[in-house]
């Protein structure tokens, strides 16, 4: 590592404006709120089961992490739920929880300085597939006049902006599995550079579909433990055989520190660092030496002004694939040194499955919860760790004192890498 205060190009640099997280919301296979999701994580409960929302007949993979019993009418009027893809519905529900948690009401004074950035790897794919089926089966006159906007990647951000009345920039971020983390990083930059005072950021995806299960299954990226769904996602376990496709969303409220102070908001954590990079190597496989991942993590630490030896917890990308877990372990050893053998490193994907664009946002929420409580969620199904000297928090949650710095990693198909650093307040 170079000097703690140096800034690298991958970290982009900052103007000095501190960025606080003041609220968050989540919809996941473990629950419809941060509270429900966090309680399930600490209990080591799996949200993975046999997929029953779609016809999985003939598919090689028939398991996934579904959002069950979600009632759109709790969060939005019927006209919105009729037009919005589930990924946008989950994002809107999470945004409403985040605003309530932060005590944020977007009034006419705040509106021009409030932005929205929602990351998604797949976007409204269910709506796209249904529109294509309707065109084939019923003809062009049966296509909804909203189809061209509700099947767009920015539809979740637009629904949130229209519902809350934000008038700052609203946009989508798409970098595969790193989308949620990159959206958070983009929001952080927007505040730190003075382009907004408050940004609602996060990620959402609803890609437990026949097409996506078939495609990722044919790429041999998914676990095929169809007969034992809760044991399917096995990050850092010797017997891992792939990730589990899941769905959900998480949204958080980022604020400039002085703005949060001015309205009396409680800071949950400081978003201290962000780094991003590309592998420039392969569509689905990480660089064998983890070069891109190292660049992103090192940049995030430089951006935060800390050394690897100061990290207290890592929420790993930890997908449960052969290549990712081995590469990420090597990256953590390189960047953190022997610190990696003295701190907890866990993968909450072992319980949620891989929520693609939502993953980085949900995992950052979990990282902040670790800093706030000292409780570390486990990596379930880690029966035989690939690195016995690393504490992957197998099976059961652990409590650790003096948790001050957390690192959250997100590495995606296409070679996208993003890392976030949060600091306790």
Instruction: Tell me the average pLDDT across 67-83.
Output: 96
349: which residues sit within 8 A by CB, 6+ positions away? Answer: 233, 235, 243, 244, 317, 318, 319, 320, 359, 363
Cβ proximity of 345 and 367 under 8 Å: no
Contact indicator for 208, 59 with CB cutoff of 8 Å: no
Q: Which of 32, 287, 317, 416 is catalytic?
A: 317
Specify whether 177 is catalytic.
yes
Q: What percent of the chain has pLDDT over 70?
A: 96
Beta carbons of 11 and 300 less than 8 angstroms apart = yes
How much of the chain is in helix, strand and coil states, percent to nearest 5? Answer: 40, 20, 40
From the candidates 99, 354, 382, 416, give the one annotated as an active-site residue: 354
3-state DSSP assignment of residue 253: strand
Among 318, 311, 338, smallest CA distance to 400 is for 311
Least confident of 194-198, 201-205, 276-280: 276-280
Say what the pLDDT of residue 22 is.
Answer: 98
Q: What is the SS3 string spanning 148-161? A: HHHCCCCHHHHHHH
Digit-coded pLDDT (tens) for 312-333 = 999 999 999 999 999 999 999 9
Over residues 95-107, the mean pLDDT reads: 98
Q: Out of 81-85, 189-193, 279-283, which region has the weakest mean confidence (pLDDT)?
A: 279-283
Higher-pLDDT residue of 303 and 6 is 303
Residue 363 has pLDDT above 70, yes or no: yes
| pLDDT beyond 50 at 240 | yes
Say which range, 132-136, 176-180, 211-215, 288-292, has the weakest mean pLDDT: 288-292
Which of 177, 207, 233, 294 is the catalytic position?
A: 177
Q: Could you tell me if 346 and 318 are in contact, meaning their C-beta atoms sit under 8 angstroms apart?
A: yes
Taking Cα atoms as reference points, which of 149, 184, 200 lies closest to residue 23?
A: 200
Instruction: Give the pLDDT mean for 370-390.
Output: 98
Give yes or no for residue 4 having a pLDDT over 70: no
Confidence band, pLDDT 50/70/90 cuts, at residue 288: confident
For 336-362, the pLDDT digits (tens) are: 999 999 999 999 999 999 999 999 999
Q: What integer pLDDT is reported at residue 2 of this predicted model?
A: 31
* Average pLDDT of the segment spanning 246-258: 98
Split at pLDDT 50, 70, 90, the class of 15 is low
Mean pLDDT across the chain, nearest whole number?
95
- pLDDT, one tens digit per residue, over 118-143 is 999 999 999 999 999 999 999 999 99
Helix (H), strand (E) at residue 300:
helix 291-304
The answer on pLDDT for 51 being more than 50 is: yes
CA–centroid distance for 301 within its chain = 19
Question: Are 393 and 376 spatial neighbours (Cβ–Cβ below 8 Å)?
Answer: yes
Q: Phi-psi region for residue 305, left (φ > 0), alpha (ψ -120 to 50) or beta?
A: left
Compute and round to an integer the Cα radius of gyration of the chain: 20
What pLDDT is stored for residue 414 in this prediction?
87
Q: How far apart are CA 297 and CA 202, in angstroms?
A: 19
What's the pLDDT at 152? 96
Q: What is the pLDDT of residue 280?
A: 85
- Least Cα distance to 340 among 275, 382, 392, 376 occurs for 392
Is the pTM of the predicted complex or chain greater than 0.85? yes
């Amino acid at each position: 590592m170079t000097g703690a205060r140096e800034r690298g190009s991958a970290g982009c640099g900052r103007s000095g404006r501190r960025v606080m997280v003041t609220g968050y919301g989540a919809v996941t296979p473990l629950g419809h709120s941060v509270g429900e999701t966090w309680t399930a994580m600490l209990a080591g409960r799996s949200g993975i089961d046999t997929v029953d929302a779609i016809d999985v007949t003939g598919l090689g993979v028939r398991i996934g992490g579904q959002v069950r019993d979600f009632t759109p009418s709790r969060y939005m009027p019927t006209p919105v739920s009729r037009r919005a893809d589930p990924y946008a519905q989950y994002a809107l529900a999470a945004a409403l929880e985040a605003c309530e948690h932060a005590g944020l009401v977007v009034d006419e004074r705040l509106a021009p300085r409030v932005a929205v950035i929602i990351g998604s790897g797949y976007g409204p794919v269910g709506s796209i597939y249904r529109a294509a089926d309707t065109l084939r089966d019923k003809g062009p006159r049966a296509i909804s006049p909203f189809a061209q906007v509700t099947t767009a990647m920015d539809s979740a951000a637009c629904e949130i902006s229209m519902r809350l009345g934000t008038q700052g920039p609203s946009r989508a971020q798409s970098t595969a599995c790193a989308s949620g983390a990159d959206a958070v990083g983009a929001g952080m930059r927007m505040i730190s550079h003075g382009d907004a005072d408050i940004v609602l950021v996060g990620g959402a995806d609803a890609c437990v579909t026949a097409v996506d299960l078939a495609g990722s299954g044919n790429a041999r990226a998914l676990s095929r433990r169809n007969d034992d769904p809760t044991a399917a996602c096995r990050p850092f376990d010797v017997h891992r055989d792939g990730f589990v496709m899941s769905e959900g969303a998480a949204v958080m409220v980022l604020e400039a520190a002085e703005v949060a102070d001015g309205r009396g908001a409680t800071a949950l954590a400081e978003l201290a660092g962000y780094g991003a990079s590309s592998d420039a190597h392969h569509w689905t496989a990480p660089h064998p030496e983890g070069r891109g991942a190292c660049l992103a993590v090192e940049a995030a630490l430089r951006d935060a002004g800390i050394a690897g030896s100061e990290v207290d917890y890592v929420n790993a990308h930890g997908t449960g694939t052969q290549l990712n877990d081995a590469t990420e372990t090597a990256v953590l050893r390189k960047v953190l040194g022997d610190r990696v053998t003295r701190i907890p490193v866990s993968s909450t994907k072992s319980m949620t499955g891989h929520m693609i664009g939502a993953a980085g946002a949900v995992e950052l929420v979990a990282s902040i919860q670790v800093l706030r409580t000292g409780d570390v969620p486990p990596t379930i199904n880690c029966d035989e760790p690939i690195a016995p000297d690393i504490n992957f928090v197998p099976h059961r949650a652990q409590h650790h004192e003096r948790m001050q710095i957390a690192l959250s990693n997100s590495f995606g198909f296409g070679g996208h890498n993003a890392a976030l650093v949060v600091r306790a307040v």
